[in-house]
Structure 1
Amino acid sequence: MPFLNKTFAILTLSILLCGSAGFSQKVFLQSGPMVGYSEMREVQLWIQTTESAEVKIVYWEKGKADDKFHTISEVTARDKAFACKLLADQVLPGKIYEYEVWINRIRIELPYRCEFRSQTLWQWRTNAPDFNFVIGSCNYVNDAPFDRPGKPYGGDYQIFTAIDSMHPEMMLWLGDNIYLREADWNTKTGIYYRNTHTRSLPEMQSLIAHTHNYAIWDDHDYGPNDADRSFVHKDITLQAFKDFWPNPSFGVDDKPGITTQFGYNDCDFFALDNRYYRKSKKSKNPSILGKHQLNWLIEALSSSRATFKFVVVGGQFLNSVEVYENHSNYPEERKYILDQLAKRDIKGVIFLDGDRHHGEISQLLLNDNNMVYDITSSPLTSSAHRKVKEENLYRVKGSLIKERHFTRLSISGKRGKRKLKVEYFDSDGKSLFQYLIDQPKY
């Protein structure tokens, strides 16, 4: 009997120690996990710890927990704010995978669903899958010691819970995903602190753990307000962007920047850098994109066979009013892009952008059967501009949104008859406006 009691005590202590070990390792988790880009044969994940730690992801096809895989273990480092990326490279097309986070060889219990999906191999086999994704920009997380005095600029963080409840396959962050403050943008310490502070928002953790995330930047991720190519610390903010966002690539043709391109089902996404090469509109040959990126964009659009071609950029493209940082302030570059779309008969182009602290849909008919669209979604959690008076000539009637919101884009239908449904929602998930765009006739 004493032996049995001793054995029971040892087992009980072991269980308690294992449980407390898992709990103690959880304090090493700063933010994430975040699910990044998805392809047919690999998916990238991101995680951040509070100090240097060994991390890995263990994953398995949903419903097949006996057959597990794991990423290569990585040790997080202070130089990257203890953030790292992990590659799940033993996936097959069209599967949903569940996963676990392991820190210092201890499994971490998380209170939300941890899943990712690989893209479907549908080509030459079936219709493209129906899917939906969410877009949004201008995410301000209050931080009193560094914020301007007065009424807090950010709020309604429940918007991320509302987005999560709709189960989008991916979220596309349209810039101003963080807001660098005056105390931040002149040092690596400040820049990495701001990225860490924003990414650690509790309301965001469930969403990013099972929704694929892609991002571009705008001025507040890049540097001071309205910053252009002259910003002296742009290479630090570029490295921070690379360290915090699990995008598929950064820059094109060995040119630095955040530019990337990816496909998702039958759609292509062209994510642009509107900061690194930006020349002031007062300079000679002013430009937002720079000559090299501009040429790449036109060639990439020309070669795309996607149903919808989404051009993702920080500032509004179609808005006719020459205010703030609209592309209308750069008329020659804007005209060149539109002329190329018409001349090369590039159809199905839809610009996705933010920046303006209001939402709206714009449309411009290039010729008899080539309509270009611009879907603006802003802000997520920063303050909204409630007194919008500008007369955008291309605004779709009723589409102006003057409160915090996000936008869901749903693509459905058979080949040749695909439809894009655009729906704006408020911070609590209440529908504000809907609009339907038909696949163009090719």
Structure 2
Amino acid sequence: MRNIFFVIVLLFLLIGCKTKTSTTEKRLNNNSATTTDFVITFGSCNKHNVENIFWDDILGQNPDVFIWGGDIIYADTDDITKLREFYDMQDAVPGYSLLKKETFITGTWDDHDYGLNDGGVEFSAKKGSQQAFLDFMDVPERDARRERDGVYSSQLISKPNGSVKIINLDTRFFRTNLTDDKAEGRRYRANDYGEGTILGVQQWTWLQDELNNSKADFNLIISSIQFLSDKHGFEKWANHPAEVDKMKQIISTSKAKGVIILSGDRHISEFSKTDVEGMSYPLLDFTSSGLTHSYSSFSGEPNPYRVGDVTFVPSYGLIEINVESSTALLKIMGDNGEVLQELKQRF
């Protein structure tokens, strides 16, 4: 395992400072003789009481980080005591416990660990749920996330030859109402343009600052719900179309390098890709879902941005980054090192 040590850059440690930050920097020695500078693993939709067969595979990748993409547990409760019990069950899983000891772990939540299926701003227990999530993620008591609304955060992983910034979004705490769709096989349709929000005012400002000020070679934006796929009738960014346009504009004008969106939620895995005006490279949305269970009866759905096929067996996501060539190799991974699909992109 790489020699890893962490430098936590927190403004409240400075003498006389009155503000805090949730940005963490992790510095790593790069002793690899391979062309892969960073190994990123991530996944979502993990039932805490169902065997996850991937923990040994993920650890075997010798990753720089494992990122939770949401639905860490399936709680669906406003009983915070019970929710904490589920987190404790997940923490006690031997494979995950070993991964925690060896690998930097970060991420965000989705609806089932938030506590309400398809839930948003209306969830009455969200503040208690936030603290339970932060406890599970071992977030320090003086971290800014302990005092503000939402679990969004950023971390910088650094090596001598480059860096990767991880930007974890909270698509639950501030998300306003969805519009029901009565059509068969669909839950929601798009809101009227400009109606509602996914991230909320404060988080949008924070995200813009994170991208505008990023010097990282790659910037990974973690969104629990899909960003590009816009034709299915379930939760997605496209249910708030103005928010989609806002995200594209912020990414484009920031000129941040190597932006990739990582998503989950759907119990399928797929690559989506599109060109965005003002961006010198295509925008990718890598959906990886789920770790313990999948949409095994999947029979197809339109996605005009899809590259390749839909994977509807359990899987996890792997990204191998080479800084010098500005390339990322995205892989949908099965058990025992099986590569189910891959996509290589130069940025």
TM-score bucket (shorter structure): 0.7 to 0.9
| Alignment pair present for 1:426 and 2:318 | no
- Identify which range, 364-373 or 418-427, moves more after superposition: 364-373
CA 1:202/1:346 → structure 2, altered by over 3 Å: closer, same or farther?
A: closer
Rounded to whole Å, the distance in 2 between the matches of 1:241 and 1:121 is: 30
The amino acid that maps onto 2:312 is K
1:15-414 superposed matches below 5 A: 39-40=6-7, 119-120=27-28, 130-142=37-49, 154-155=50-51, 157-181=52-76, 185-247=77-139, 255-265=148-158, 266-282=163-179, 285-367=195-277, 369-398=280-309, 400-414=310-324
Rounded to whole Å, the distance in 1 between the matches of 2:8 and 2:257 is: 29
CA 1:252/1:404 → structure 2, altered by over 3 Å: closer, same or farther?
A: same
Rounded to whole Å, the distance in 1 between the matches of 2:101 and 2:147 is: 31
CA 1:261/1:167 → structure 2, altered by over 3 Å: closer, same or farther?
A: same
3-state SS of paired residue (1:316): coil
The higher-RCO structure (CA 8 Å, 6+ apart) is: 2
The amino acid that maps onto 1:141 is H
Rounded to whole Å, the distance in 2 between the matches of 1:140 and 1:252 is: 25
Spell out, residue by residue over 1:56-109, the C-alpha distance to the aligned partner (whole angstroms, 9 max, x if none).
xxxxxxxxxxxxxxxxxxxxxxxxxxxxxxxxxxxxx9xxxxxxxxxxxxxxxx
Rounded to whole Å, the distance in 1 between the matches of 2:126 and 2:132 is: 10
Q: Give percent identity, aligned residues only.
A: 27
CA 1:39/1:385 → structure 2, altered by over 3 Å: closer, same or farther?
A: same
Rounded to whole Å, the distance in 2 between the matches of 1:331 and 1:209 is: 41
Quote the offset at 1:259 in angstroms.
0.9
CA 1:294/1:138 → structure 2, altered by over 3 Å: closer, same or farther?
A: same
Quote the offset at 1:295 in angstroms.
2.1
The amino acid that maps onto 2:57 is A
Q: Confirm or deny: 8 A CA contact 2:268 2:294 kept in the other structure.
A: no
Spell out, residue by residue over 1:135-163, the C-alpha distance to the aligned partner (whole angstroms, 9 max, x if none).
10010133xxxxxxxxxxx44x2211222
Quote the offset at 1:250 in angstroms.
5.9
3-state SS of paired residue (2:149): coil
3-state SS of paired residue (1:294): helix
Structure 1: give runs of 5+ residues left out of the alignment.
Answer: 1-36, 43-92, 94-117, 123-127, 143-153
Task: State the TM-score, normalizing by the size of structure 1.
Answer: 0.64
Structure 2: give runs of 5+ residues left out of the alignment.
Answer: 10-24, 180-190
Rounded to whole Å, the distance in 2 between the matches of 1:369 and 1:229 is: 35
CA 1:413/1:257 → structure 2, altered by over 3 Å: closer, same or farther?
A: closer
The amino acid that maps onto 1:131 is F
CA 1:277/1:208 → structure 2, altered by over 3 Å: closer, same or farther?
A: same
The amino acid that maps onto 2:40 is F
Quote the offset at 1:247 in angstroms.
4.5
CA 1:180/1:254 → structure 2, altered by over 3 Å: closer, same or farther?
A: closer
Q: Confirm or deny: 8 A CA contact 1:322 1:328 kept in the other structure.
A: no
Rounded to whole Å, the distance in 2 between the matches of 1:211 and 1:318 is: 30
RMSD: 2.7
Rounded to whole Å, the distance in 1 between the matches of 2:169 and 2:143 is: 10
The amino acid that maps onto 2:164 is C
- Work out which of the two has the higher radius of gyration on C-alpha atoms and give 1 or 2: 1
Rounded to whole Å, the distance in 1 between the matches of 2:249 and 2:130 is: 31
Task: State the TM-score, normalizing by the size of structure 2.
Answer: 0.80
CA 1:206/1:346 → structure 2, altered by over 3 Å: closer, same or farther?
A: closer
Q: Confirm or deny: 8 A CA contact 1:274 1:314 kept in the other structure.
A: yes
Rounded to whole Å, the distance in 2 between the matches of 1:253 and 1:177 is: 19
Rounded to whole Å, the distance in 2 between the matches of 1:256 and 1:387 is: 36
- Identify which range, 264-273 or 339-348, moves more after superposition: 339-348
Quote the offset at 1:337 in angstroms.
1.4
CA 1:253/1:224 → structure 2, altered by over 3 Å: closer, same or farther?
A: closer
Quote the offset at 1:328 in angstroms.
0.7
Quote the offset at 1:327 in angstroms.
0.4
Quote the offset at 1:386 in angstroms.
3.9
- Kindly tell me the number of residue pairs found equivalent between the two proteins: 306
CA 1:212/1:340 → structure 2, altered by over 3 Å: closer, same or farther?
A: closer
Quote the offset at 1:341 in angstroms.
2.7
Quote the offset at 1:388 in angstroms.
4.5
